[in-house]
Structure 1
Amino acid sequence: MTSNTIMRNRITSTWARAGSLLIAGLAMSLTSCKHQEADTVTPQSSTSTTENQTVDSWILDNMQTYYYWNDKIPANPDKTLAPSDFFDSLLNTYNATTNPEGDRFSWIEENASDLTSSLSGETKTTGMEFALYLRASGSTDVIAQVLYVLPNSPAANAGLKRGDIITKVNGQGITTTNYQSLLFDDSVTNYTFGLGTVSNQSIVDSGVTKSVTTTVFQANPVYLDSIYTVGTKKIGYLVYNQFVPAPNGSKGSEYDDQVDAIFAQFKSAGINELVLDLRYNPGGYTSSSANLASLIGKGVDDSKLYFRESWNSTLTPVLQKQYGSDFFLQKFSTKAQNIGSNLSRLYVLTTDRTASASELIINGLRPYMTVNTIGTTTYGKNVGSITITDDTGKINWGMQPIVFRSYNSLGQSDYSTGFTPTTEVEEPITLYPLGDVRDALLNEALYQIAGTAASGRHAATTVRNPLPVLGSSIQQKAKGGLMVKDMKISHL
């Protein structure tokens, strides 16, 4: 940055309670009104045919009512199947060639409380998120690169940081055949990570290790906010990693209030440009997405439409009769902290981990202002799910089926393959801290805003990451992405 640049960084301390929220497509908290009269069914690794039929009947009943593609459910599904297999047999399965608009996102869990806890922000975690790459092109060896570490988490306390490269887990080299068991096994609580370094774009073992014990942890989605001043440009920057209104167990809006407070500071400081960093945000609650959009949008208030939902033809008239047409509409809020009048455009930083409620921000604001995206193509989730559990407590399963599709105020919903970036910038193998002006995506945004490179050169000249991508822990926990609509439907 130039000498007249002022940077203020604040990494928000996380709640030391529980969980990192599982977020990403439009999900609604839904207590099922389909009551079962059988005895409580406890999930087991091996269940009887009778138990399967009880659970499967409950699954089918709810899917026939709520599933977005309920007209494609098989006429006579096999109720002797294990519940997870039965659930899968009902889906309108996605196929890139034959069914590109099919279902990529619905899933079921054996324990409903685990499902709802994860959606509310409770998970057992080391406190870091990472990307997975092949160690070299054509190799079966895998590395995990740390994308960010939650403050005060076990990973942070062990000294792990963004950019660290993990080559071994508990003494074993990571490969394409064992990375799932080494990195995503919930029964493992103690990890010793062997680290590597980058040498001439290759990964070399360093011999350094870090030991971490998992814990139940609450991740604050408001990760970092900054203000950069470059000449006449005063640039607000927010790293926001999940759309979550409040910590698990709270019925308040603590995290939304925190975002409001940041925008109040932005407004007071007179920022006239905004960079919203959603590169690691797989989505979350639509209420929090609407809250953030209401703080940014130009000329928006509670009379303006943020997005609307379309449900299946069976349920739509029922919902309309019971709740009215407003059920399908998400309006903006009128916010005193809104900075839209000072903005001519918005910059959003994206990767393929940017999904659902994050993509809703891009799609929902584009009718009201110019939205430029910098990074790589987003995930592509324009549909939403609800959480279905049995409120009698007799069935312990929980499921998350897709139930609606979202459209912005112009009727646009054409991003099932993701939003292609306005400016493509890959994250290189060498990562700088989030908020550092040398970070490739932020650097490019500052260059486009100020017209000069913040660190002497801008991201278009940076070296691309040469390693083939396998995925990330963010996509693993988010099942691809969630948008969560926080409400209950009863007695339909």
Structure 2
Amino acid sequence: MKKYFLVSLLALGFLSSCSSNDDTAEPEVVDPVVEPEPEPELNRVDYPIQDFMYQAMNVYYLYKPDVDVLADDFFTDTPTYVKFLSENPVPEDFYSDVLVTNEDRFSFLTDNYVELENSFSGVSKSNGLKFSLVRFSGSDDIFGYVRYVAPNSTASASIIERGDLFTRIDGTILTINNYQMLLAQDTYTLSLASVTNSTVSETGETVELNKVEGFVENPVYIAKTLDINGTKIGYLMYNSFVSNFDGELNDAFAQFKADGITDLVLDLRYNGGGSVATAIDLTSMITGQFDGQILTKQQWNPEAQAYFESEAPESLLSRFNSTIYTGTPQEQPINSLNLNRLYVIGTGSTASASELTIIGLRPYIDVKTIGKTTVGKFQASTTLYDSNNFGRANANPNHTYAIQPLIYTYRNANDVIGPPTGIEPDFELEEDLTNLGELGNPTEPLLSLALDQILGRKSSTKRSKPRSFELLGESEMFSPTYQRMYVDKVPQIKK
């Protein structure tokens, strides 16, 4: 009985313990259900730069068919399109990596369109030194040689001149890895050198140069009439197609006309292009007897081309004209020479509007080229802004981004398209570092060769020797307008 009594007590104790534990147990905590906050709605206005670039390229880009995302039906709804914009936050990367084809070397964007506009007007931050950069064979070291010095520049006030070489900047040897950084400085000191028998040697002389804001260079570098044994021949060294100087260009032709020249040597050896309108003016100054006839025929992307053919077919044609556009109703009459032949000096730096001048004139007059093969750039671009019609007026005041895409290519009146490999010379001769000569002097090798053809004399100029140096670049390659051909007024496309 005692045994059973003890078991009963233990059982009661166990039940009492369980009851006590149950009464004091903590209630289970259940986390409240938190609804996720909805993602903020994306809007086109949040990505104005990307949006305007996309819309402009969708309308005007020459190579639109080669960029899948530019197809009109690529985005099925606005949210998808806006999400696409949001995924490309860096405008520079968005433009170059997404909107421009890999084969396109010339379309670009700027984050400062005021600087770009100044460049188109011939205004830049410059010391006036115009040079080529050359690489030593089998080496990463490079040197520069002076092509010419722009008048009224800081370089023109120094001892440096055409034909001088430089190997160091601020005492540092130029290489393919550092030249861009060294030449980008506003102030630097050049160590001068000379070349003899393909050997470059430093002279011990130095020149300090300073870049100045707002430097203006007149592209009409030399305009003179040569009188050679009674034959009057015009010589024009023209270094950029800048419409702001069309008046000065026209004045040069007025002087040629007054001098009674019978032939013209047009020196475009360093001319990388510029304004299409100025190229039309120049071809009209050289001729004059073809006023109103077709100079070039434009080819846009398929949609733009179809629109212009239907709505404004005349806008696809560039024609010889008789007046210079001055921006006012009082347009200036062009001084035309009515020539039937032309001799053009060109090199591997001759591009764009320079090539248009050659190709455009060939159906009408005999055009001979002297020098080396040109660049082969036969597409035009334009500046497009963030506005309702992509024009400069009413551009978005919150940023200064603009794009400069290629918008059309062209053929001449005989439907000849410029070769992408460049225009080959009829009479080949390369500039010789050891004998650059004086620009505009009849003995300068390239000018002398052109004069030989005009005068029918036996050439005393020796053919180019193979280069012992590799041409790497030139001073103009640092300019935003380098080898660009552009149109100022873009015809509107209504979609």
Normalised by the size of structure 1, how large is the TM-score? 0.80
Q: CA deviation at 1:269?
A: 1.7
Q: What is the aligned counterpart of 2:349 among 346, 353, 361?
A: 353
Match of 1:458 in 2: 460
Match of 1:241 in 2: 239
Q: Please tell me whether the aligned partners of residues 287 and 340 of structure 2 are also in contact (alpha carbons under 8 angstroms).
A: no
1:376 aligns with 2:377: no
3-state SS of 2:344 partner: strand
Equivalents in 2 of 1:360, 1:443: separation in Å?
24
Equivalents in 1 of 2:248, 2:118: separation in Å?
22
Q: Please tell me whether the aligned partners of residues 347 and 372 of structure 1 are also in contact (alpha carbons under 8 angstroms).
A: yes
Unpaired runs of at least 5, structure 2: 1-42, 75-83, 323-332, 387-394
1:439 aligns with 2:444: yes
Match of 1:414 in 2: 418
1:199 aligns with 2:189: no
1:35-184 correspondence runs (5 A): 38=45, 53-75=47-69, 79-91=87-99, 93-94=101-102, 102-134=103-135, 136-183=136-183
Q: CA deviation at 1:317?
A: 4.1
Instruction: Supply the AA of the counterpart residue of 1:228.
Output: L
Greater mean deviation of Cα atoms: 366-375 or 310-319: 310-319
Instruction: Supply the AA of the counterpart residue of 1:153.
Output: S
Q: CA deviation at 1:69?
A: 1.3
| CA deviation string 1:225-249 (max 9, x = no partner) | 1211223532110000011121xxx
Instruction: Supply the AA of the counterpart residue of 1:474.
Output: E
Match of 1:325 in 2: 313
Q: Please tell me whether the aligned partners of residues 444 and 460 of structure 1 are also in contact (alpha carbons under 8 angstroms).
A: no
| CA deviation string 1:67-91 (max 9, x = no partner) | 0111222337674251111111235
Match of 2:290 in 1: 300
1:314 aligns with 2:303: yes
Equivalents in 1 of 2:443, 2:182: separation in Å?
32
Equivalents in 2 of 1:238, 1:299: separation in Å?
21
Equivalents in 2 of 1:374, 1:81: separation in Å?
48
Q: CA deviation at 1:224?
A: 0.4
Instruction: Supply the AA of the counterpart residue of 1:271.
Output: I
Equivalents in 2 of 1:477, 1:114: separation in Å?
10
Identity %, equivalent residues: 35
Match of 1:339 in 2: 337
Match of 1:3 in 2: none
Match of 2:37 in 1: none
Q: Please tell me whether the aligned partners of residues 121 and 243 of structure 2 are also in contact (alpha carbons under 8 angstroms).
A: no
Q: Please tell me whether the aligned partners of residues 284 and 334 of structure 2 are also in contact (alpha carbons under 8 angstroms).
A: no
Q: CA deviation at 1:439?
A: 1.7
Normalised by the size of structure 2, how large is the TM-score? 0.80
Q: Please tell me whether the aligned partners of residues 236 and 265 of structure 2 are also in contact (alpha carbons under 8 angstroms).
A: yes
Q: Please tell me whether the aligned partners of residues 107 and 399 of structure 1 are also in contact (alpha carbons under 8 angstroms).
A: yes
Equivalents in 1 of 2:279, 2:166: separation in Å?
33
Instruction: Supply the AA of the counterpart residue of 2:416.
Output: Q
3-state SS of 1:482 partner: coil
Equivalents in 1 of 2:282, 2:228: separation in Å?
25
1:208 aligns with 2:205: yes
* Structure having greater relative contact order (Cα 8 Å, sep ≥ 6): 1
Large movers: runs of 4+ above 6 Å? none
Instruction: Supply the AA of the counterpart residue of 1:475.
Output: M
Match of 1:218 in 2: 216
Q: CA deviation at 1:475?
A: 3.4
Q: CA deviation at 1:275?
A: 0.3
Equivalents in 2 of 1:60, 1:310: separation in Å?
21
Equivalents in 1 of 2:381, 2:431: separation in Å?
30
Q: CA deviation at 1:487?
A: 1.4
Q: CA deviation at 1:387?
A: 0.5
3-state SS of 1:315 partner: helix
1:404 aligns with 2:408: yes
Q: CA deviation at 1:459?
A: 2.6
Distance 1:337 1:298, change over 3 A: closer
Q: CA deviation at 1:57?
A: 2.2
3-state SS of 2:277 partner: helix
Instruction: Supply the AA of the counterpart residue of 1:339.
Output: L
Q: CA deviation at 1:339?
A: 1.3
Equivalents in 2 of 1:423, 1:490: separation in Å?
43
Distance 1:80 1:91, change over 3 A: closer
Q: CA deviation at 1:276?
A: 0.1
3-state SS of 2:236 partner: strand
3-state SS of 1:459 partner: coil
Instruction: Supply the AA of the counterpart residue of 1:436.
Output: N
Equivalents in 2 of 1:198, 1:299: separation in Å?
48
Q: CA deviation at 1:271?
A: 1.1
Q: CA deviation at 1:336?
A: 5.8
Match of 1:98 in 2: none
Equivalents in 1 of 2:419, 2:318: separation in Å?
19
Distance 1:464 1:381, change over 3 A: same
Equivalents in 1 of 2:231, 2:467: separation in Å?
31
Equivalents in 2 of 1:271, 1:83: separation in Å?
52
Q: CA deviation at 1:452?
A: 3.5
| CA deviation string 1:182-230 (max 9, x = no partner) | 11x2xx2111111001122211011100111101201101100121122
Q: Please tell me whether the aligned partners of residues 91 and 103 of structure 1 are also in contact (alpha carbons under 8 angstroms).
A: no
1:278 aligns with 2:268: yes
Q: CA deviation at 1:114?
A: 2.1
Q: CA deviation at 1:480?
A: 4.9
Equivalents in 1 of 2:418, 2:277: separation in Å?
22
Q: Please tell me whether the aligned partners of residues 134 and 469 of structure 2 are also in contact (alpha carbons under 8 angstroms).
A: yes
Q: CA deviation at 1:180?
A: 1.2
3-state SS of 2:469 partner: coil
Q: Please tell me whether the aligned partners of residues 384 and 404 of structure 1 are also in contact (alpha carbons under 8 angstroms).
A: yes
3-state SS of 2:363 partner: coil
Unpaired runs of at least 5, structure 1: 1-35, 39-49, 95-101, 247-254
Q: Please tell me whether the aligned partners of residues 235 and 267 of structure 2 are also in contact (alpha carbons under 8 angstroms).
A: yes
Match of 2:483 in 1: 481
Equivalents in 1 of 2:177, 2:414: separation in Å?
46
Equivalents in 2 of 1:129, 1:224: separation in Å?
15
Q: Please tell me whether the aligned partners of residues 193 and 201 of structure 2 are also in contact (alpha carbons under 8 angstroms).
A: yes
Query: How much is the aligned-residue C-alpha RMSD, in angstroms?
Result: 2.2
Q: CA deviation at 1:330?
A: 1.2
